[in-house]
Structure 1
Amino acid sequence: MTSDEVVLRRAGSADARAAADVWLRSYTAALPTVRCAHDEADVRDWFARVLVPQYDTWVAVAGNNVVGLLVLSGAELKQLYLEPEWRGQGLGDRFMALAKSRQPDGLSLWTFQVNAPARRFYQRHGFVEVERTDGQRNDEREPDVRYVWRPQTT
């Protein structure tokens, strides 16, 4: 199955567990040196009680499997995670186009400084670094960087 055959749709409560599992696998693969601040049960609970019902949460579905997720909170891109084997196949680009269409006036996000692939991805999509921190404000206590995207005016 190719990225073009994957369906992007709003997440429902039945998707919370599968989306949380994608998040857990992706986090482990992408951030092996970053301590996860919450155990698996807490992450699954957070998806079921908070992310899916309270945020603009989208999933990518290949066949019957959730393979990616996007979470927006207004103009903040809160989460963008893909199953590791789906990276580099255009699915992240599709999620980014969706995020920009949902928030055409601009977006902001945080990512960890050590996550070079994510930083390159966001920069490629027009995000500009605006702030770095020592990580004392995030649960992981990991240095992070804030990016902002504003649409180009012609």
Structure 2
Amino acid sequence: MSSDDVLLRRAHAADAHAAADVWLRSYASALPTVRCAHGKAEVRDWFARVLVPQYDTWVAVTGNSVVGLLVLKGDELKQLYLESEWRGRGLGDRFMSLAKRQQPDGLLLWTFQVNGPARRFYQRHGFTEAERTDGQRNDEREPDVRYVWQPQA
């Protein structure tokens, strides 16, 4: 199945648990050396109480399964996670196009410095590095990097 067969839609309250589980699996797969600062129950509660009802949260759905998620809070891209088998199949590109349509004046995001694949993905989509930190301001205490995207004039 190609990413074109996957529906991108706004998340509903009923998607919170499935989206949280995608986040948990993807985080564990993509960031094996970064400790997850929150337990599974906390992550599921955060999705149900905060991300889905309060933020601009989108899910990628195929059949009855959530296979990816995008979370925007204003001009900040807060979360972009895919099931590992959906990486490299164009679904992330579709989410990025959606994010840019939702925030055409520009976006910012943070990612961990150790996450080379994510950093290359964001750079490929026109994001430029704006700041590096030692990680003392994030829950994981992991060095991170802030990227910004500004549309071409």
TM-score class normalised by the smaller sequence: over 0.9
| Residue 144 of structure 1: aligned partner | 144
| Residue 129 of structure 2: aligned partner | 129
Structure 1: state its 5+ residue gaps.
none
Superposition RMSD on alpha carbons, in Å? 0.3
Structure 2: state its 5+ residue gaps.
none
Which segments of structure 1 move beyond 4 Å, counting only runs of 4 or more? none
The 3-state SS of whatever aligns with 1:22 is: helix
Tell me the distance in 1 between the aligned counterparts of 2:76 and 2:101. 13
The 3-state SS of whatever aligns with 1:61 is: strand
Q: Deviations over 1:18-62 (max 9, x none)?
A: 000000000000000000000000000000000000000000001
TM-score w.r.t. the length of structure 1 is: 0.99
- The count of aligned residue pairs is 153
Tell me the distance in 1 between the aligned counterparts of 2:64 and 2:89. 18
Q: Deviations over 1:60-111 (max 9, x none)?
A: 0011100000000000000000000000000000000000000000000000
Tell me the distance in 2 between the aligned counterparts of 1:50 and 1:6. 25
| Residue 3 of structure 1: aligned partner | 3
| Residue 67 of structure 1: aligned partner | 67
Tell me the distance in 2 between the aligned counterparts of 1:147 and 1:60. 24
- What is the CA distance between 1:137 and its match in structure 2? 0.1
Q: % of aligned pairs identical?
A: 83
Tell me the distance in 2 between the aligned counterparts of 1:64 and 1:35. 30
The 3-state SS of whatever aligns with 1:72 is: strand
The 3-state SS of whatever aligns with 2:101 is: helix
The 3-state SS of whatever aligns with 1:85 is: helix
The 3-state SS of whatever aligns with 1:152 is: coil
Tell me the distance in 2 between the aligned counterparts of 1:90 and 1:74. 24
- What is the CA distance between 1:2 and its match in structure 2? 1.2
- What is the CA distance between 1:113 and its match in structure 2? 0.0
TM-score w.r.t. the length of structure 2 is: 1.00
Tell me the distance in 2 between the aligned counterparts of 1:114 and 1:62. 30
Tell me the distance in 2 between the aligned counterparts of 1:14 and 1:83. 19
Tell me the distance in 2 between the aligned counterparts of 1:137 and 1:12. 30
| Residue 84 of structure 2: aligned partner | 84
